[in-house]
């Protein structure tokens, strides 16, 4: 509904602009002092007489749909598994969260393609299609691994511990079964995430690269955009921390910043859509920094996340500090 409304509005604006240009050219033809012979504009079509089409209106329909489905289908997925009765979704059948994930794997690529269609700058279709295929494959790998992982949680698996340290895993016989669970964890938390999020951020970079303009009017974020900024940034905080993609996110943010500096030298600045995306990422950097500072001295989480960039997962925090106290 939001997508149809946005496309209809863009079509009406384009039709009105074309009508105004046609009337103006007809009046110039009728004026002997204009120097334009009748029918000239039909043959020559000079770009100097045609005003530039505005392509930087805020894409509220797409940003709203992306934010809404991210919160419901991605963030709400594990919550649905916990809240809904287990009797409705037996352990040997797909859970509610699995159906959420399936919907996410279909809706998100569709919205990303629609986002690329709106960018004023042409983008390689081959690169976009390759990113979409990789995105769907990575998200599907994650769907399977995450589905089994959440069933293990219902059986006592503790997210704040490594695979081999978990009470329900460490005593398995034969011991080679532990290697299988570690392989499952690798597909879920490493390979699946990389194949999911790398093309996701590449597509956002493709889109951002076309969101630059000289017009000050096109750079103003409307009120609807400012209202979406908070929920959008908060979701990206969840995406970065739970997905363990801090390095990838920071590289994307730095690439956007470098792109802004490069375009600034040409006298261009991000339009309302580019500014919305950049501000969302900027707030996300702040939220991730506050999250890390809050859990900086946690010894258990420090042990599980020994990487150079220490960023604990929210669900590990839930398993360690909230679930135990209930």
Same domain, yes or no, for 159 and 286?
no
Residue 145, in any domain of the structure: yes
Same domain, yes or no, for 141 and 164?
yes
Give how many domains the chain has, as a whole number.
2
| pTM: predicted TM-score of the whole model, two decimal places | 0.77
Same domain, yes or no, for 181 and 103?
yes
Same domain, yes or no, for 248 and 286?
yes
Residue 49, in any domain of the structure: no
Return d(Cα 231, Cα 243) in angstroms, integer. Answer: 18
Same domain, yes or no, for 73 and 206?
yes
Same domain, yes or no, for 313 and 297?
yes
The pLDDT of 287-315, averaged and rounded, is: 90
Same domain, yes or no, for 181 and 244?
no
Same domain, yes or no, for 103 and 230?
no
> The domain containing residue 311 runs over which residues?
217-325
Q: Of the spans 37-41, 185-189, 306-310, which averages the highest pLDDT?
A: 185-189
3-state helix, strand, coil in the chain (%, to 5): 75, 0, 25
Q: What is the pLDDT of residue 324?
A: 60
Q: Which of 183, 210, 237 is the endpoint of a domain?
A: 210
Question: What DSSP element (H or E) covers 122?
Answer: none
- pLDDT tens, position by position, 7-27: 554 555 555 554 555 444 444
Residue among 285, 211, 212, 213 nearest 252 (CA):
285
Residue 164, in any domain of the structure: yes
CA torsion 24→30→33→39, rounded to 10°? 80
Q: Which of 210, 242, 277 is the endpoint of a domain?
A: 210
Report the interhelical angle of 192-209 vs 96-118 (nearest 10°): 30
Residue 203, in any domain of the structure: yes
Before 174, cis peptide (omega within 30)?
A: yes
- pLDDT tens, position by position, 45-81: 333 343 334 445 899 999 999 999 999 999 998 888 8
Same domain, yes or no, for 165 and 297?
no
Same domain, yes or no, for 148 and 109?
yes
Residue 204, in any domain of the structure: yes
Q: Which of 151, 183, 210 is the endpoint of a domain?
A: 210
Question: What DSSP element (H or E) covers 179?
Answer: helix 176-186
DSSP secondary structure string, 252-268? HHHHHHHHHHHHHTTT-
Q: What is the pLDDT of residue 274?
A: 94
The number of beta carbons lying within 10 Å of the beta carbon of residue 72 is 16
Residue 7, in any domain of the structure: no
Question: What DSSP element (H or E) covers 212?
Answer: strand 212-213
Residue 308, in any domain of the structure: yes
Same domain, yes or no, for 191 and 232?
no
- pLDDT tens, position by position, 146-182: 888 888 887 788 877 888 888 888 878 888 888 888 8
Return d(Cα 271, Cα 255) in angstroms, integer. Answer: 17
Residue among 281, 135, 117, 106 nearest 206 (CA):
117
Residue 175, in any domain of the structure: yes
Chain-wide mean pLDDT for the chain?
Answer: 83
Residue 48 tokens, joined: 């100097």
Same domain, yes or no, for 250 and 203?
no
Confidence of residue 44 (pLDDT cuts 50, 70, 90): very low
């Amino acid at each position: 509904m939001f997508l149809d409304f946005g496309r209809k509005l863009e079509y009406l604006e384009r039709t009105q602009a074309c009508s105004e240009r046609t009337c103006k050219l007809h009046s110039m033809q009728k004026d002997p002092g204009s120097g334009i012979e009748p029918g000239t504009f039909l043959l020559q079509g000079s770009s100097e007489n045609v005003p530039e089409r505005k392509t930087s209106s805020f894409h509220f329909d797409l940003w709203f749909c992306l934010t809404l489905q991210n919160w419901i289908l991605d963030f709400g997925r594990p919550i649905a598994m916990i809240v809904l009765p287990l009797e409705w979704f037996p352990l040997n059948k797909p859970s509610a969260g699995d159906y959420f994930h399936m919907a996410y794997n279909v809706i998100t690529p569709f919205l990303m393609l629609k986002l690329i269609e709106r960018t004023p700058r042409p983008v390689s279709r081959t690169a976009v299609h390759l990113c979409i295929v990789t995105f769907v494959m990575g998200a599907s790998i994650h769907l399977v691994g995450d589905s089994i992982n959440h069933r293990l949680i219902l059986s006592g698996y503790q997210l704040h511990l490594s695979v081999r340290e978990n009470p329900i895993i460490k005593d398995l016989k034969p011991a080679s079964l532990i290697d299988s669970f570690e392989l499952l964890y690798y597909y879920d938390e490493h390979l699946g995430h990389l194949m999911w999020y790398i093309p996701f951020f590449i597509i956002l970079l493709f889109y951002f690269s076309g969101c630059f303009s000289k017009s000050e009017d096109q750079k103003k974020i409307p009120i609807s955009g400012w209202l979406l900024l908070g929920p959008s940034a908060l979701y990206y905080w969840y995406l970065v921390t739970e997905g363990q993609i801090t390095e990838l996110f920071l590289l994307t943010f730095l690439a956007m910043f470098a792109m802004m500096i490069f375009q600034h030298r040409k006298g261009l600045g991000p339009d309302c859509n580019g500014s919305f995306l950049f501000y969302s990422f900027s707030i996300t950097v702040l939220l991730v920094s506050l999250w890390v500072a809050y859990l900086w001295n946690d010894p258990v989480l420090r042990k599980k996340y020994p990487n150079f960039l220490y960023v604990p997962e929210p669900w590990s925090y839930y398993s360690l500090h909230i679930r135990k106290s209930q």
